[in-house]
């Protein structure tokens, strides 16, 4: 499970570097998100632009990652590919997330990252 | 056309049906890793259908959900068992039949797959249960039979009808 994080002043970005977010790695993803975001700022942006395929297990893990953040922090999504966006749209889970068309648009008004780190799970 | 064999699979055959339609048959031990390999083989094997990107992602999603269900539910207690998959291109889309020897569906009926209310508070949102909703939403003519010790699930995915078929 490859995830990259970048820390900004007011939020952090977690980029999923996996081709598939599916049943085979859903639990690992949720655990990794718990570790990476335990001291996260109020906004966490999940960059899914590398993810080509997401199934219902992957969807559940993204919802779980959001719930793990608790009531005071939010998980926002960015860079959904067509196939990934379709799963969120069909299940109407697109309405519980703020979804940005791309990471660039999510970051448009923000400064540069202060640090970047790669994590292997 | 050639499909690379799935590692650890017991059998994998592919043949072309009448009228240049695509027909695939796969048999493999149902594990999460093999589901990934099977999906890769299937999507490569369906290349001759020349599906649009949208149709292709629909087929991959439906088959992933069905195969994951067999792995996680039918074979939950008994451990990994074999799964047999038949796919056949027809005028009305892709006809699919999935056979396994795991436990039967509760009440002998596939779940309806109702959607959770997206307006509920976040902490009440379920993290599962979307699979059958997606299967129901994206398939037609879904039937389930429990025959002896086998589950037989049949359905159609309405894809590819508008694509003209060319002889390779």
Taken in order of first residue, the domains within chain B and their CATH numbers are 11-157 (3.30.565.10)
Compute φ and ψ for B3, nearest 5 degrees.
-115, 130
pLDDT per residue as tens digits for the range A3-32 = 999 998 889 999 999 999 999 999 999 999
Q: Using CB atoms, which residue from B54, B64, B115 is nearest to A92?
A: B115
CATH number (3.20.20.80, 3.40.50.11540, 3.30.750.24, 2.40.50.140) of A2-120 reads 3.30.750.24
| pLDDT value for B164 | 47
Q: How far is the first Cα of chain A from the last one, in angstroms, to the nearest whole number?
A: 5
| pLDDT value for B78 | 76
Q: How far is CA A40 from CA A13, A119, B46, B76, in A?
A: 10, 16, 43, 36
Q: Any idea where the domains of chain A sit in the sequence? A: 2-120
pLDDT per residue as tens digits for the range B59-95 = 999 999 999 999 998 898 778 899 999 999 998 999 9
A interface with B, Cβ–Cβ < 8 A, is 20, 22-24, 53, 55-57, 59-61, 63-64, 66-67, 71, 82-83, 86-87, 90-93, 95-96
Percentages of chain A per state (helix, strand, coil), in multiples of 5: 35, 30, 35
pTM recorded for the entire structure: 0.87
* Nearest-angstrom CA–CA distance, B162 and B141: 20
| pLDDT value for B1 | 38
| pLDDT value for B89 | 95
Whether the Cβ atoms of residue B55 and residue B160 lie closer than 8 Å to each other: yes
In this predicted structure, the answer to whether residue A1 has a pLDDT above a threshold of 70 is: yes
Q: CB distance A60–B53 less than 8 Å?
A: no
- B121's CB contacts (< 8 A; 6+ apart) are none
What rounded mean pLDDT belongs to chain B?
Answer: 86
User: Does A38 or B65 have the greater pLDDT score?
Assistant: B65
* Nearest-angstrom CA–CA distance, A77 and A14: 10
Report, as an integer, the average pLDDT of A81-108.
94
| pLDDT value for B152 | 98
* Nearest-angstrom CA–CA distance, A78 and A15: 9
| pLDDT value for B71 | 93
| pLDDT value for B123 | 82
| pLDDT value for B163 | 46
Compute φ and ψ for A83, nearest 5 degrees.
-65, -35
Q: How far is CA B66 from CA A95, A120, B30, B32, B136, in A?
A: 25, 30, 11, 12, 11
* Nearest-angstrom CA–CA distance, B117 and A108: 32
Q: Give how far A95 is from chain B: nearest CA, Å.
A: 7
Task: Enumerate the β-bridge partners of residue B70.
Answer: none
What are the pLDDT tens digits along chain B (168 aa)? Answer: 344 444 444 445 555 555 678 999 999 999 999 999 999 999 999 999 999 999 999 999 999 999 999 999 889 877 889 999 999 999 899 999 999 999 999 999 999 988 888 888 888 889 988 999 999 999 999 999 999 999 999 999 999 865 444 444
Q: ipTM of this predicted complex?
A: 0.88
Whether the Cβ atoms of residue B25 and residue B95 lie closer than 8 Å to each other: no
Please state at what angle helix B131-138 crosses helix B53-69, rounded to 10 degrees: 130
* Nearest-angstrom CA–CA distance, A53 and B75: 24
Task: Enumerate the β-bridge partners of residue A4.
Answer: A15, A118
């Amino acid at each position: 499970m490859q995830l990259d994080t970048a820390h900004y002043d007011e939020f952090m970005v977690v980029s999923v570097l996996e081709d598939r977010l599916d049943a085979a790695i859903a639990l690992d993803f949720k655990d990794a998100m718990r570790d990476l975001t335990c001291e996260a700022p109020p906004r966490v942006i999940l960059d899914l632009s590398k993810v080509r395929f997401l199934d219902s297990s992957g969807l559940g893990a993204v919802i779980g990652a959001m719930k793990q953040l608790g009531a005071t922090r939010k998980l926002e999504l960015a860079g959904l590919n067509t196939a990934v966006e379709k799963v969120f749209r069909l299940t109407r889970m697109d309405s519980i997330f703020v979804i940005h068309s791309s990471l660039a648009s999510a970051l448009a008004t923000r400064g540069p990252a202060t640090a970047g780190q790669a994590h292997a799970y | 056309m050639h499909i690379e064999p799935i590692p650890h699979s017991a059998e994998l055959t592919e043949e072309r049906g009448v009228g240049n339609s695509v027909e695939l048959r796969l048999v493999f031990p149902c594990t999460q890793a093999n589901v990934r390999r099977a999906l890769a083989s299937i999507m490569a094997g369906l290349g001759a259908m020349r599906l649009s990107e949208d149709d292709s992602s629909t087929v991959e999603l439906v088959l992933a959900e069905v195969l994951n269900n067999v792995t996680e539910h039918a074979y939950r207690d008994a451990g990994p068992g074999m799964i047999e998959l038949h796919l056949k291109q027809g005028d009305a889309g892709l006809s699919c039949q999935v056979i396994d020897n795991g436990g039967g569906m509760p009440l002998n009926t596939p779940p309806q797959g109702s959607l959770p209310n997206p307006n509920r508070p976040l902490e009440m949102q379920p993290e599962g249960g979307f699979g059958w909703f997606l299967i129901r939403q994206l398939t037609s003519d879904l039937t389930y039979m429990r025959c002896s010790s086998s589950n037989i699930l049949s359905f159609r995915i309405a894809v590819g009808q508008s694509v003209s078929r060319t002889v390779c």
